[in-house]
Structure 1
């Protein structure tokens, strides 16, 4: 099969499109997926740069966490999924602990049944591929921070892949009473369209200097030292990047198909939407260009690879 692969750590130049990669064997608890679309995440390029070398799987590596596709083979212990099912998910249970050698940027990939959910009927493969890692990170972080109905929240990096879903979940699933979010000047209207009540242009003002403080701060950009200054006493702060300043807590998402099943009704009703970068999707032979773009930190929403041959 065709797959993108790298045999050494480094920049986008180490990525190679190979056409004779072995199709993976299916273990008892796994399914084989014909990949229709795959999304890129910052963790994919951080891994390629060697930043998780100590806990990574051995090289060579096919990158990619997020997948949407069709089940073509099932392991002997798979209980619910069957051949022909359209599924989506983050195929690595732990992003930083022995992620799979064979990721989703390939014609076929394997994943444990527990990491997958049936694709919402109203979403195409591109929209579905854009969701798993980001929406699970958004959901798990909001739970850890203790967001609940009637509370206020500040989202740092509201226009990114995770932040754009944090805003939507805070409003539609958790019932937040007030949502503030930061972005650059040109993305402020986009934040409002997602449901933000207060938009903060980080190029013009410091969110931590606002008189208003929040019950929860979700830091999707790696500024926990500033985030803790914007939370009410006794409130919750979560961060998904970089050093963690107490009382903030850092976490790395655990991939879980049950989260996706729980959120499917919100996706199917249209209350929560996948956010796709307008420059995408990128075709399969342009994965290196898609990574170069993602690594500029200028993407709005998710960068998706489609179609995959």
Structure 2
């Protein structure tokens, strides 16, 4: 067991614009470990749009007391285990989403910190050991492995639980490679069409030139993650389904709010290990810990082509 300090560097926030309220502090108390938790030394953390939304106070009724540390996705190393932990040990390299529910009472201590605490049982959030990918040198291997592992967790849970194609960049499309969809159609701007095809889309639609709802082809399932529900319903087959995660609902569409647990991540893990599903990190999407604000601003543009990752997390107390 490494010598865990009493305090750590972490980003903390109040409510307001992220650039005004998010501050890097060097004296934040390391989370106190509960008996069913492991303490993870954070190597990389993935950023998500919900991080910005929480800072803006959109989910203020579900927040914990201040100070709050943002961050959902984590890849790191177990440095301490609680007395009731059975399946993880000190030294295990792990990844996962530390929040069981994206919006409903997320934890006070997120992953944009040097250390974070995660439950193992009964539904382990950090349950799948990290596979170190083949790179040219040990340092490159470790860097790539932690970046890739911090990329997946939040996005695939949306797809796994809703059983629909996820129009996001973190993976090859789960609908095709995991759920066996016979045909996947996705939309993007002109410069990202080839990436869509490489991810497994049978048809890549340029939304700057064509309205997807006007296609002669209609679809069994339409997944809307940008708030265009009325258009999505027009693209649905009779008897089909439209799932949205943001914006107003047009019947018969329904809203889906993500939850996560280790059991689902374990189901996805074989696809990650085999390479059928791969993390996609935006070419400009790796930011050092000190530039977390810049990373969040990039996420907020809505123009990322993959996951945005914070790496390395500073650990030089």
SS in 2 for 1:254: coil
1:171 aligns to 2:176 (yes or no): yes
2:158 is aligned to: 137
When residues 300 and 119 of structure 1 are mapped into structure 2, their CA distance, relative to the original with a 3 A threshold, is farther
Correspondent of 1:125 among 123, 146, 149:
146
What is the CA–CA distance in structure 2 between the aligned matches of 1:96 and 1:52, rounded to whole Å? 7
After TM superposition, the runs of 4+ consecutive aligned structure 1 residues lying more than 3 A away are none
Alignment of 1:164-243 (within 5 A): 165=171, 168-243=173-248
Cα shift at 1:226: 1.2
More displaced 10-residue stretch of structure 1: 101-110 or 69-78: 69-78
What is the CA–CA distance in structure 2 between the aligned matches of 1:60 and 1:223, rounded to whole Å? 35
Taking only aligned residues, the RMSD between alpha carbons, in angstroms, comes to 1.4
1:23 is aligned to: 30
Correspondent of 1:38 among 45, 49, 54:
45
> Does the CA contact (< 8 Å) of 1:35 and 1:107 recur in 2?
yes
> Does the CA contact (< 8 Å) of 1:241 and 1:250 recur in 2?
yes
> Does the CA contact (< 8 Å) of 2:76 and 2:146 recur in 1?
yes
> Does the CA contact (< 8 Å) of 1:37 and 1:307 recur in 2?
yes
What is the CA–CA distance in structure 1 between the aligned matches of 2:127 and 2:10, rounded to whole Å? 24
> Structure 1, residues 261-283: CA drift from partner, whole Å, max 9, x if none?
11111111111000101113100
Structure 1 unaligned regions, length at least 5: 146-152
Correspondent of 2:84 among 74, 77, 89:
77
What is the CA–CA distance in structure 2 between the aligned matches of 1:21 and 1:94, rounded to whole Å? 24
SS in 2 for 1:266: helix
When residues 10 and 201 of structure 1 are mapped into structure 2, their CA distance, relative to the original with a 3 A threshold, is same
Cα shift at 1:254: 0.8
SS in 2 for 1:235: strand
What is the CA–CA distance in structure 2 between the aligned matches of 1:20 and 1:11, rounded to whole Å? 20
What TM-score do you get using the length of structure 2 for normalisation? Answer: 0.89
1:49 aligns to 2:56 (yes or no): yes
What is the CA–CA distance in structure 2 between the aligned matches of 1:98 and 1:234, rounded to whole Å? 35
Alignment of 1:4-23 (within 5 A): 4-23=11-30
Correspondent of 2:307 among 295, 298, 302:
302
SS in 2 for 1:279: strand
What is the CA–CA distance in structure 1 between the aligned matches of 2:232 and 2:252, rounded to whole Å? 10
1:61 aligns to 2:68 (yes or no): yes
> Does the CA contact (< 8 Å) of 1:85 and 1:118 recur in 2?
no
> Does the CA contact (< 8 Å) of 1:47 and 1:53 recur in 2?
yes
How many residues were matched structurally? 293
More displaced 10-residue stretch of structure 1: 247-256 or 184-193: 247-256
Cα shift at 1:193: 0.4
What is the CA–CA distance in structure 2 between the aligned matches of 1:188 and 1:181, rounded to whole Å? 9
> Does the CA contact (< 8 Å) of 2:14 and 2:55 recur in 1?
no
When residues 194 and 76 of structure 1 are mapped into structure 2, their CA distance, relative to the original with a 3 A threshold, is same
